[in-house]
Amino acid sequence: MSAESEEGADEFPSGRFERGRIAAQTGLKMGANYARYLARRSVGAGSRDEERKALRDRNARDLFSQLSRLRGTALKFAQGISIDPGVLPREFVDVLSQAQYQVPPMGTALVRRLIQQGLGKPPESLFEEFEPVAVAAASLGQVHRARLKDGRVVAVKIQYPNVRESVDSDLRIMKGLASRFVDAGAVQPFLDEVRARMFEETDYLQEGQNIEYFAAQYTSDRILTPRWIPEYSSERVLTMTFVEGRHLDEFLATDPSQEVLNQFGQTLWDFAHEQVAANNLAVHADAHPGNFLFRDDGRVGVLDFGCIKRFPVSFRNDLLLLFKARLADDQEALMRQYRSLLLVSDEQPDDLRAFMLDILEQVGNTIAEPYRHDTFDFGANLLLQGFEDLLPRLTGRDAYRHRSPVGSSEFIFLNRLVFGLLSILTRLGAVVHTADGRRRLLDVADAAVG
């Protein structure tokens, strides 16, 4: 570790002006990369495909570098879009996926100071052992392994400075960018939803309570969650029992058998469906690879309980009635649910409604595909390709003409759950028994109208 990082010279900007300046610098860097690309193309250097790939790779690395300086909402956004299929070119996905747990960490002096501020004492007074090098660093904070004086091995999550203070300034920047493409007023409910979840996610006492709730509900012979240690926690320092295991890339590098891949895939599939079908409506909505550990004992370790989405009953029921209508290909019921979920309305111009119905048909059929079979092979089926094929339509001329966002703001975190799960299952190449998940969802839909 460098002397600079040991001194903790890595404070993070929180003001709107500072963060806006860094965002502007990022745009300038990416513009310079594009100018370099055009210059090389003008003299015929390299193949077009190779040069375009190199451009995307440079832009992705510059973007990640600048977002790592910002942390917080900006980097959380990158983390989110890195798991949404079809949103970004592969080069961007590969680089931005580092935001899941490989962000450059804070220096040791800053870590020590933040623990002192959060818990009232420095780490050497609180813990029998405290490892100064982070075991993981993501968008909002980083994690250190430690040992309590009673011998328990724990994970200590420390929030980056200024993260909570920067939420509103980042959202103002995002709103300014979004207003170039959509009506600024119409996008506000979506930003309000992000703001609410970000303030929850930066309250580590709330996350501790979420940990205990999920531990009580889901710890089993297939799922392992940490346990909260409140006496070593505060709003910005969170201590919990340490969960061992491998992240997805590390796990796949061990060349696991298909049987093991299927077992883990089934566990993730069942875990997601149990949450959606439960009466409490609390869902772990941060389904990216950095939040799951694949363990030698066959259990999946689940991490990071900051982003827990509690859906309104009406939204969850409308969603599952839409699911039921999609499986039955009941067009009348589909239209009824599209209206309930604010996806289409009579006030929309005819061309926008036709555009939306076409998109919804494609997206709905793609999501429904695993449920049309009792067993589904995520390795053999090009499920995510269906979403990637939609990208030109979602970003092209037709999409730009229809500038108003549609759908309930509740979809933001539902999409993170759905696409995160599908992405992980596809990377596992798991063969999953889907019938029980289908039954759970249809039972809730039937009860909603019963």
Give mean pLDDT, residues 131-146.
Answer: 89
Given a cut of 60, is residue 163 above it in pLDDT? yes
Give mean pLDDT, residues 143-151.
Answer: 97
Phi and psi, residue 407, nearest 5°: 90, 160
Is 92 within a domain? yes
Structural domains of the chain, count: 2
Given a cut of 80, is residue 55 above it in pLDDT? no
Q: Closest Cα partner for 200 from 212, 210, 189? A: 210
The pLDDT value recorded for residue 89 is 52
The pLDDT value recorded for residue 161 is 86
The residue ranges of DSSP E strands in 254-353, in sequence order, are 282-284, 292-294, 300-302, 308-310
Residue 76's region, left for phi above 0, alpha for psi from -120 to 50, else beta, is alpha
Is 191 within a domain? no
Q: When comparing pLDDT for 163 and 230, which is higher?
A: 230
Is 414 within a domain? yes
294, 251 Cβ separation under 8 angstroms: yes
Helix (H, G, I), strand (E, B) or coil at 286: coil
Given a cut of 90, is residue 222 above it in pLDDT? yes
Is 331 within a domain? yes
The pLDDT value recorded for residue 136 is 86
Give mean pLDDT, residues 199-217.
Answer: 95
Q: When comparing pLDDT for 215 and 414, which is higher?
A: 215
Active site residue 286: yes
Rounded to whole angstroms, the Cα distance separating 290 from 82 reads: 12
User: Could you tell me what percent of the chain has a pLDDT over 70?
Assistant: 69
Given pLDDT bands bounded at 50, 70 and 90, which one contains residue 1? very low
Task: Give the model confidence (pLDDT) of 98-128 as tens digits.
Answer: 544 556 678 899 999 999 999 999 999 999 9
Q: Which of 55, 73, 99 is the last residue of a domain?
A: 99
Strands 300-302, 223-224: pairing kind: parallel
Given pLDDT bands bounded at 50, 70 and 90, which one contains residue 11? low
Which of these is catalytic: 170, 203, 270, 286?
Answer: 286
The pLDDT value recorded for residue 77 is 59
Q: Which of 74, 99, 124 is the last residue of a domain?
A: 99
Question: Around 327, how many Cα atoms within 13 Å sit in the side-chain half-sphere?
Answer: 16
Q: When comparing pLDDT for 354 and 432, which is higher?
A: 432
Beta bridge partners of residue 102, listed in sequence order: 137
Give mean pLDDT, residues 240-245.
Answer: 98
Rounded to whole angstroms, the Cα distance separating 447 from 274 reads: 16
Range of the domain at 386: 245-450
Strands 308-310, 282-284: pairing kind: antiparallel
Max mean pLDDT range (81-95, 150-164, 249-263, 418-432): 249-263
Is 84 within a domain? yes
Helix (H, G, I), strand (E, B) or coil at 299: coil
Is 198 within a domain? no
Question: Exposed, middle or buried: residue 320 (CB in 10 Å: 0-12, 13-18, 19+)?
Answer: buried
Question: Around 391, how many Cα atoms within 13 Å sit in the side-chain half-sphere?
Answer: 12
Q: Closest Cα partner for 173 from 392, 287, 25? A: 25
Is 217 within a domain? no
The alpha carbon dihedral of 230, 218, 366, 440 has a sign of negative
Task: Give the model confidence (pLDDT) of 306-328 as tens digits.
Answer: 989 999 999 999 999 999 999 99
The pLDDT value recorded for residue 252 is 97
What is the CA 211 to chain-centroid distance, rounded?
Answer: 18
The pLDDT value recorded for residue 60 is 61
Is 16 within a domain? yes
User: Could you tell me what percent of the chain has a pLDDT over 90?
Assistant: 48
Given a cut of 90, is residue 414 above it in pLDDT? no
Given pLDDT bands bounded at 50, 70 and 90, which one contains residue 356? confident
Max mean pLDDT range (167-176, 264-273, 341-350, 413-422): 264-273
Given a cut of 90, is residue 390 above it in pLDDT? no
The pLDDT value recorded for residue 16 is 57
Average pLDDT, the chain: 81
Cβ neighbour number for residue 406 with a 10 Å cutoff: 21
For the full predicted model, state whether its pTM sits above 0.85: no
Max mean pLDDT range (173-187, 311-325, 348-362, 402-416): 311-325
Q: Which of 65, 99, 133 is the last residue of a domain?
A: 99
Contacts 24+ apart (CB under 8 A), 149-155: 152/229, 152/241, 153/241, 153/242, 154/127, 154/229, 154/232, 154/239, 154/240, 154/241, 154/242, 155/226, 155/239, 155/240, 155/241, 155/242, 155/243
Give mean pLDDT, residues 180-208.
Answer: 77
What is the CA 102 to chain-centroid distance, rounded?
Answer: 14
The pLDDT value recorded for residue 87 is 43
Max mean pLDDT range (339-343, 432-436, 446-450): 432-436
Give mean pLDDT, residues 131-141.
Answer: 86
Which range has the worst mean pLDDT, 80-84, 169-173, 200-204? Answer: 80-84
Q: Closest Cα partner for 448 from 337, 338, 307? A: 337
The pLDDT value recorded for residue 294 is 98
Given pLDDT bands bounded at 50, 70 and 90, which one contains residue 275? very high
The pLDDT value recorded for residue 141 is 87
Quote helix, strand, coil % in the chain, to nearest 5.
Answer: 60, 10, 30
